[in-house]
Structure 1
Amino acid sequence: MSAIRAKLVARARRHPLFVISALLGAGALLCWAGYRGTLYYEARSHYRAAQELVERREWKSALEHLDEAQRLAPDRPANHLLAARAERRLENLDRAKRHLDTCERLQGGETQPVKVERALLRVHQGDLAGAEEFLRACIQQDDPDAVEILDILAAALEINYRDAEAQRCLDDLLQRRPEHFDALVRRGRTAKSMGWFQDAVAYYEKALAVRPDVDSVRLALAEIQVVLGHFDPARKHFEQLRERQPRNPSVLFGLARCAAGAGANEQALTLFNQLLAANPDDWMVLTERGWLAVQLDRPRDGEVDLRRADSLAPPHVPPTHLVNCLRLLGKADEARKYQEKVDRIQTDNKRAAELGGLIREKTPDDPEPRYELGRILLRQGKARDAVHWFETALAKAPAHRKTHEALAEFYQSVRAVERAEHHRRVLQGLSASAPN
């Protein structure tokens, strides 16, 4: 060792420039390594910050950090995979796909996380059927992305009116993440839609325990408590909301209903009058004020409000209070006419529930119940939901004549002439191809 050191010292004495060059080279190498290390550390810091923001569902802020991470480390696949998720959540689906393509190219193939993300992207694009089986298999295999899969799958199932299945996904998600705020809110919403109001209250309360600052959840909870007749706890929520939203009509309406339910009739009447002064065509307020008048033994005043409410209400709202008011006034014939309307709406609601179960459990590929459900929803004034079920009927049976007829008639009624004409052309083609 000493001999080598001696040779180097001797060489350095003979060639001082060699020493300077070696030192400069070593210094440059150290600087380059330090620079690369700094870039790597900064990129990792931005990536970790983006991960935390994605967990908090702050997608835009996450993308800001991921942009920096990609600038500092453009060839790191994890950056692109997480960016794809954030872009998908923001419904920037083309950008999400580009990130997945880049990630796959950098990794030299499609890994399982990329496959999952592509399947979730298909769900966002409306292709639940094409991705559901794969995603459910991933959940059964306890995929690391199971929470994200369950979250997206539950939302898609809810959109497709498969509330019972959405609830099962949400229950699985909440077993894994009991304080998942959005899952708790959706679990409450699906329970409400299925008429399980006590369950809805429980889940909304859990959601508020996680994030007590979310007024929309507090409002939903208070409104259900009014339906259940729990006026005191509902009033406390409405009063808390009123401190932050003093002019919110929904809050004032809730307070008025609580006052009426608790027997504070004058307070309720004052609030109803205040709301109608601002919006004379609010059918819900007219209904409540009219029924309050009936309860105060002023059925003639109530009749005026209840008739107007019925003329303004959506077609799926039964005029039950108006029937009772007319009976009190001795107007039996008119009461009978409106009772027929109540019975028709209630029959439609019952049949719609039956059809939902039939579609989910017994005849999922039969277009007929989907068509019938679409017709009911159209009668109830729920055009968007009706079109959804008509379209799913055609997805099951593209030549289903009655569905094309219904869509042609609907689109013509809303002056969507080109769409109406499309369905007429399909009907003409079906007639031409039919055997004589």
Structure 2
Amino acid sequence: MSDQTVSPAAVQAQPAERAAASVRPVSWKYPITYAILAVLGLLFALGSPAGGRTHFRLASAGDFFEIPVIELPSRPAGWVLAATLLALTVYAFWRASNRAQARLWLPLLFGVLFVVAFLVWAGADRGAVIPLVTMLTGALALSVPLIFGAMCGLVGERSGVINIAIEAQLLAGAFLAAVAASVFTSAYLGLLFSPLAGALVGAVLVFFSVKYQVNQIIVGVVLNVLVIGLTGFLFSTTLTQNAELWNARQQLPDLPIPVLSQIPVIGPVLFDQTILVYLMYVLVAVLNVFLFRSRWGLRTRAVGEHPRAADTVGIKVNRMRVYNVILAGAIAGLGGSFFTIGQGLAFGKEMSAGAGFIALAAMILGRWHPIGAVLAALLFGFSTSLGNVLAAIGTPVPSEALLMLPYVITILAVAGFVGRVRPPAANGTPYVK
């Protein structure tokens, strides 16, 4: 007899787990997606020139120590990466056949290896070095407004209010940040004013959708059109006529964190940023903790999932929704300041360029979870940065395809790795007591 003791709860749980695994349907979506990408990896290896070389730069100025340029033989490296992708694909098929749950590390590892395989092929014998640190820094920068917008949508929709007006809130934040920074000649004051613009748009959204039960999607679309038209009119009249006063460039300075910013690769990417990026780190961490481990988070999820049950225990459902949507608008407005003072640019017409809709897609791709939404936004930012770098070094990929790359990657990610998602049950449904 074994000396190991098994608790009664564990004995009861084991059959339940086996039963759940036996009834879980087999999903071949992930393995088939991996198989398609693995075949592309094989084509990259076959397309690499014999004797070709690909160079990667991981070092940047100010690092503790200099990492030499990495030189890889293109075709052998491509074959090794393709074989690894095929092995991961076989493993994914094996897990699917056993009805095992998907693990996060598998798509992340597969995605990283696939990108490396693509870069090895694209940069072979191009006479240029692929700057990985620059690419990663650009990916993070391009993701900043998307992450703020995704957090805005997450707070609103977890409360039961659909927010299509993220685009308007980002654009309003960019506008007011540029104007305030120009008038007061201080980028930091512009940063303080930007959440007010987003909160104002959120207040209008929640006023019509909660108080008068107007269709939330229609209100959001109208607000997008309204803010685009209003900021465009003010830009064409006031801002362009006296740009020195109303639309002068102001930029947030970089604030490198001592020691951390000198760590090779990750230091320049994560710890040599502006205060806006550091605020983004704090926001994601706070939301991730508060949404699932605080009284506010419990009430927010309750009014988004089952408002009538929340009302029976004394939670003011509509008041909670009003406060949360206005807070969400302030978050998006803060993110909109990246387009102007975050990059040292003057305000321009429609300069958000659809980032609000991409942020909404990132929130859905992340399954209404802060960490998932951040990963989805980083995916889009990285794909955009990848296209910019490849266009700069010159690749066999047509320039039109590089411009399409971020959107293609996002569509493939949504189709291949998300599948069916479930929004909060009461999302978009007005509550009448």
User: Please, what TM-score do these two structures have when normalized by structure 1?
Assistant: 0.21
Task: Kindly indicate whether structure 1 or structure 2 has the higher relative contact order, using CA contacts under 8 Å at least 6 residues apart.
Answer: 2
More helix by share: 1
The structure number with the bigger radius of gyration is: 1
